[in-house]
A and B are shown apart, each in its own frame.
Chain A
Amino acid sequence: MTDTNAQNSGRVPGGFAADIATDLASGRAADLAEVYALDAVDDAERAAIESYLLSAPQAERAAFNERVRQARETLATSFTAEEEPPAGLLDRIMASLPSQDVPAAPGAHPSHAPSAVPPVVARPVREPSGRPVTDELGDARRRREERRRPQGMRGWLVGVAAAAIIALGGVGVGAYVANQNDPLNQVMQAGDVRQATVNVAGGGTATVSLSTSKDAIVVKMNDVPAPPPGKVYQMWLIPKDGSAPVSQGLMDAEALSKPAVVKGISTAAALGITVEPTGGSASPTTPTVAEAPLGA
Chain B
Amino acid sequence: MTTMQVDKCPSRRVAGDHDPAAARPDPRSAAGTLCLKVMDTPNAPIPEAAAPPGTPADVNRRLGALLEQIAAGDQAAFAEFYELTSRRVFGMARRVLIDVELSEDTTQEVFLQVWQNASKFNPEAGSPLAWLMTISHRRAVDKVRSSQSSTDREAKYGASSQDIDHDSVSDEVGSRLEAEAVVRCLATLTDTQQESVRLAYYGGLTYREVAEKLNAAVPTIKSRIRDGLIRLKTCLGVS
Partner-B contacts on A (CB < 8 A): 1-3, 5, 7-8, 11, 14-19, 23, 31-35, 37-42, 45, 65, 69-86, 89-90, 92-94, 96-98, 100-103, 106, 108-109, 111-112, 116-121, 123-124, 126-127, 133-134, 137, 140-141, 147-148, 150, 181-183, 219, 230, 234-235, 244, 246-250, 252, 260-264, 277-283
Contact = CB atoms under 8 A, between A and B. Distances in A.
B171 interface: yes
B87 interface: yes
Contacts of A11: 230
Given A86-B100, A140-B83, A39 B138 contact: yes
Contact of A1 (B86, B112, B216): B216
B125 A183 contact: no
Given A35-B226, A262-B160, A147 B171 contact: yes
A100 B73 contact: yes
B9 to A, nearest CB: 15
Contacts of A248: 159-160, 163
B223 interface: yes
Q: Is the interface of B mostly helix, strand, loop or mixed?
A: helix
Given A17-B219, A77-B56, A261-B159, A97 B112 contact: yes
Contacts of B35: none
B218 to A, nearest CB: 5
A79 B76 contact: no
B186 interface: yes
A119 B145 CA distance: 40
Contact of B98 (A45, A111, A264): A264
Contacts of A112: 61, 64-65, 68
A141 B187 CA distance: 33
B95 interface: yes
B26 interface: no
A205 B229 CA distance: 37
Contacts of B169: 148, 150, 244, 282-283
A289 B227 CA distance: 35
Contacts of B218: 16, 18-19
Nearest to A183: B155
B30 interface: no
Contacts, number: 321
Contact of B88 (A82, A93, A101, A118): A82
Nearest to B127: A73
B94 A83 contact: yes
Nearest to A148: B169
Contact of B166 (A103, A118, A147, A282): A282
Contacts of B120: 101
Residue picked from B92, B166, B183, most chain A C-beta under 10 Å = B166
Contact of A281 (B65, B95, B117, B164): B164
B119 A85 contact: no
Given A97-B75, A249-B161, A1 B201 contact: no
A97 B114 CA distance: 10
B92 A279 contact: no
Contacts of B155: 181-183
A106 B69 CA distance: 11
Interface string B130-174: 101110011001000100000100011011111111111101100
B229 to A, nearest CB: 4
Interface in B60-114: 61-62, 64-65, 68, 71-73, 75-76, 78-80, 82-84, 86-92, 94-95, 98, 100, 104, 107-108, 111-112
A38 B163 contact: no
A40 B133 contact: no
24 contacts: A18-B219, A31-B226, A34-B226, A38-B229, A69-B125, A71-B229, A72-B134, A73-B238, A75-B229, A76-B129, A81-B167, A82-B87, A82-B168, A89-B86, A92-B108, A108-B119, A112-B65, A118-B51, A118-B53, A137-B83, A183-B158, A248-B160, A281-B183, A282-B179
Contacts of A147: 171
Contacts of A17: 219
Interface in B193-239: 193, 197, 200-202, 204-208, 210, 216-220, 222-234, 236, 238-239
Given A81-B165, A81-B168, A282-B164, A126 B206 contact: no
B222 A118 contact: no
A118 to B, nearest CB: 6
